[in-house]
Amino acid sequence: MADEIQVLIVDDSALMRNLIGHMIEDTPGLAVAEKAMNGIFALQKIPRVNPDVIVLDLEMPEMNGIEFLKERKKQGITVPVVILSSIAARGAEITMEALSLGASDFIQKPSGSISEDIHVVKETLVNKLLGYGGAYRKTQGRKVLSPVEYKEKTPSDKHSDVAIHFKLAASPVIEPAQPPVRARSPAKTEIIAIGISTGGPDALRVVFSKLDADLKIPIVVVQHMPAGFTNEFAKSLDRICPLDVKEAEDGDPIQPGRILIAQGNKHLEVEKKAAGAVVRLSDDPLVSGHRPSADVLFASVAMNYSNHALGVIMTGMGRDGAQHLGTIYKEGGMTLGQDEASAVVYGMPRVAYELGHVMEQVSLPNMARRICEVAKAQR
């Protein structure tokens, strides 16, 4: 169908192009626009096939992924790019360079440049293609069909992020439920907790670059990201943020003016001790389908900081964080959610909003300002 999200696959392996193509064709709302074996052919095909999103390998002959991203930027091409590459597994710096050059997100190939087991990342891949491709189509004034128009294809796991995305996409946003009863009134903010997923790398750049340099309140963040990348990701954010940003390590003190990013594949919780608050990392089972999980973070923040917390839920597929953002609210904390218009995927913040757990919806361009205003308010 012409209204499906059109995906351009760029990979030098014919096997990979075919395997990725099969996964796309098996997903409601996605279609293969064209395939290319390197960046040169991709650039030639973009004007003709007009894709909504690009899947890009990094290691290719003649023009590799980094070179393609540089040329894409030079030509003013705005089609979002999702990196799918084996180099992502060993070159976090190169992956962060790709993000800095305009790639929206990345996924590791599970077992090298030719991964015959690529199906293990299908859920993650189609999650990002639906999110970024759908958001781009909307900016171009093109229709995004809802899953009810694809009855012959349905996700097998009804609890997966993609299945939840389909269910949400097929229904209008509803008015929020009655907010939970508060145990106490909000007090002075002592910690800010952020949960974010698909669309997060770009969104966090926007927010962190605009934070006030005098914001003396610690921030803890769960961004869904695989192991091995959050250190470089934190460094990339530290370069543009007036506050200190680092990857969280177990036992790190929670300090004013410091942002701690959860490690990939590790839950992050906060713990108050006599000597001060610290973060704790764990390998506990997945929660809401994720590790790290925003729900785990929010629950621990609510338990340890009660009505002295600010919880923020932003762009992301699925529902992680929506439940326990409500726990922060119940304990008397403040809560913000990203609005539909500015979210790449209005999934996590939408579920939280519909549950009545979001006190105020905020656009991405205004999020840093509102975080600072709410956090600094005297209560």
Q: Which residues carry out catalysis? A: 197, 224, 320
What does the alpha-carbon distance between residue 127 and residue 345 come to, in Å, rounded to a whole number? 9
Residues 59/86, Cβ–Cβ less than 8 Å: yes
> CA of 247: how far to CAs of 28, 37, 89, 229, 268, in Å?
36, 36, 18, 9, 11
Round to the nearest angstrom and report the end-to-end CA distance of the chain: 54
The runs of H, that is alpha helices, within the chain are 14-25, 39-49, 65-75, 87-90, 92-100, 122-139, 161-169, 200-209, 230-238, 294-305, 322-330, 348-354, 364-376
Residue type, 286: L
Residue type, 98: A
With CA atoms as reference, report the closest residue to 128 among 24, 198, 44.
198
> CA of 69: how far to CAs of 38, 75, 101, 102, 349, in Å?
12, 10, 6, 7, 30
Six token digits for residue 204: 């966090």
> CA of 49: how far to CAs of 72, 122, 186, 212, 337, in Å?
15, 23, 53, 43, 36
Residues 74/43, Cβ–Cβ less than 8 Å: no
What does the alpha-carbon distance between residue 32 and residue 20 come to, in Å, rounded to a whole number? 9
> CA of 336: how far to CAs of 59, 173, 190, 362, in Å?
40, 17, 16, 7
**Scanning the structure block, which residue is given the tokens 């549950």?**
355
Q: For every residue of 265-303, which 3-state class applies, written as one string?
A: CCEEEEEEECCEEEEEEECCCCECCECCCHHHHHHHHHH
